[in-house]
Amino acid sequence: MSAAATTPVRLKLQVNTSGAWRNVIDFPRQDDMACAQVLTAAPLLAAAAGSRTTLRIVSTDALPVVFSHWEEGKGWRGALPAPVAARGAP
């Protein structure tokens, strides 16, 4: 299986405030600006919600793959997958 076949095109931000993960927003992995905005803004919102709030970035699959996790005082851990090359690109 090629890397392109296993690398997600869209990612999902999820939040956990009381024991269950909830979807917040889907965003395109290829859009570096969107990724940067999510990674910057999400912790600000989580901090306002309280110290028990955690975040994660996952694939949009039915059984999501976790790529990155955020906790207050620890920041983001893990890394986003590399963007998928544009169709037709070498």
List, for residues 19-44, the tens digit of each pLDDT value. 999 999 999 999 999 999 999 999 99
Tokens of 4: 């392109």
Contact at 8 Å (CB) between 21 and 15?
yes
Longest dimension (CA), the chain: 46
pLDDT tens for 49-82 read 888 899 999 999 999 999 999 999 999 999 888 8
Q: pTM score, two decimals?
A: 0.82
Q: Look at residue 84 in the predicted model and tell me its pLDDT.
A: 62
How buried is 4 (Cβ within 10 angstroms: 0-12 exposed, 13-18 middle, 19+ buried)?
exposed
Tokens of 60: 């949009």
pLDDT band at 1; cut points 50, 70, 90: very low
